[in-house]
Amino acid sequence: MSQRNTIMEEKLKLLPSKPGVYLMLDGEGEIIYVGKASSLKSRVRSYFGSPGKQGAKVVAMLQHLHDLEYIITDSEIEALILECNLIKKHRPKYNISLRDDKHYPYLKVTLSEEYPRLLVVRSMKKDANRYFGPYTRSGAMNETVKLLRRLFPLRTCSNSGLKNRSRPCLNAHIARCLAPCTGQVSQEKYQEMVSEVILFLEGKQEDLLARLQGKMEQAAHNLEFEKAAEYRDQIRAVEQVLARQKIISSGQENQDVIATATGRWGTIVQVFFIREGKLNGREQFALVGTEDLPPEEV
């Protein structure tokens, strides 16, 4: 058995039966695949259980596999969020090729238009618009679109529909569109809502909450209680989204958390990257020849 296989066998034995994210690395230390699991032990070991039943692309991935790392989370939901963050950051090779080689969707805010829309597109272009993604899970993306269209009712009609319409559409009647087609909203107010959509998609929900809170208080001060209630509902919906994310810090600061473990083989240093209070990555380093040093000197 090769040294690589021996090391891998030892790592497989140490896998916990807990939810988390696993990272597969090649010989250069590059992350080639990121996955999530409700049980790291069961999920990761399943790759090595029945070689004859694996697809060709999984077999190809395992041939490039040289190392394995994992991060334990408190729940499968947290594992899902962390997995998405890591895929977005590292763009692992097999997170794309293992899914039928399809093009993943993006969310596009059409800033090039007078009254921008939020669209789902299959490719990103170099133009004046803003793109977010790609989204590897269309279900999660569709939920995001539904939420945004409910909270921030931008138009969904075509440009020709915008120009030729003389009466508000059905979406306007059910409060799902601001009806710029018939002049029911100023361009300034419409653009303000577009900027709020962008804040949400950029992950700056705390900034968005502060803005909505200010609007709610101003509306209440002006005795516009119906409008204040709308802002209150928007705030609650955004807070629900934030509640699904793993908060490492109560603040919004960026910081790196360092953990070390020393044994007869030396010291392993794990650095966790926290951005805006949320865990979104890690790096690992091995310090050889430090087994006899006190912790403060490592």
Domain definitions of the chain by residue range: 3-100, 104-201, 203-250, 251-297
Distances in whole angstroms, Cα of residue 135 to Cα of each of 102, 260, 296: 12, 34, 43
The torsion of the CA quartet 60, 66, 69, 75, rounded to 10 degrees, works out to 20
Q: Which residue has the tokens 């995001």?
A: 144
Residues 6+ apart with CB under 8 A from 90: 31, 34
Residue 229 has pLDDT above 50, yes or no: yes
Amino acid at site 253: E
Top-confidence residue, 131 or 254 = 131
Mean pLDDT comparison of 46-60, 174-188, 251-265, highest-scoring range: 174-188
Percent of the chain with pLDDT over 90: 16
Mean pLDDT of 89-115: 75
pLDDT for res 87: 82
Mean pLDDT of 68-87: 82
Q: Where are the alpha helices (DSSP H) in 244-279?
A: none
Top-confidence residue, 200 or 2 = 200
Q: Which of 37-46, 89-98, 166-175 has the lowest mean pLDDT?
A: 89-98
Residues 221 and 228: their CA atoms lie apart, in Å, by 9
- Strands 106-109 and 31-37 turn out to be unpaired
Nearest to 97 by CA among 82, 106, 87: 87
Judge contact between 41 and 100, C-beta under 8 A.
Answer: no
- The tens digit of pLDDT for each residue in 127-145 reads 999 988 767 666 767 777 8
Q: Which residue has the tokens 């208080």?
A: 217
Residue 247 banded pLDDT, cuts 50, 70, 90: very low
Residue 97 has pLDDT above 50, yes or no: no
SS3 label, residue 286: strand
Top-confidence residue, 89 or 298 = 89
Structure tokens belonging to residue 61: 């991935």
Mean pLDDT of 65-83: 84
Residue 33 banded pLDDT, cuts 50, 70, 90: very high
Mean pLDDT of 149-178: 83
> In this structure, how many other beta carbons lie within 10 angstroms of the beta carbon of residue 135?
19
Residue 256 banded pLDDT, cuts 50, 70, 90: confident
Element (H, E) at 22: strand 20-25
| 205-221 vs 225-243: helix crossing angle, rounded to 10 | 160
Structure tokens belonging to residue 212: 């909505």
CATH code linked to domain 3-100:
3.40.1440.10
Residue 179 has pLDDT above 60, yes or no: yes
Residue 250 banded pLDDT, cuts 50, 70, 90: very low
Residue 155 has pLDDT above 50, yes or no: yes
Residues 6+ apart with CB under 8 A from 160: none
Residues 294 and 276: their CA atoms lie apart, in Å, by 33
| 187-201 vs 205-221: helix crossing angle, rounded to 10 | 140
Mean pLDDT of 91-119: 77
Residue 54 has pLDDT above 90, yes or no: no
Residues 130 and 16: their CA atoms lie apart, in Å, by 41
Residues 49 and 46: their CA atoms lie apart, in Å, by 5
CA gyration radius, the chain: 24
State residue 67 phi and psi, 5-degree precision: -155, 160
Top-confidence residue, 77 or 249 = 77
Residue 39 has pLDDT above 80, yes or no: yes
Residue 190 banded pLDDT, cuts 50, 70, 90: very high
Mean pLDDT of 231-235: 84
> In this structure, how many other beta carbons lie within 10 angstroms of the beta carbon of residue 3?
7
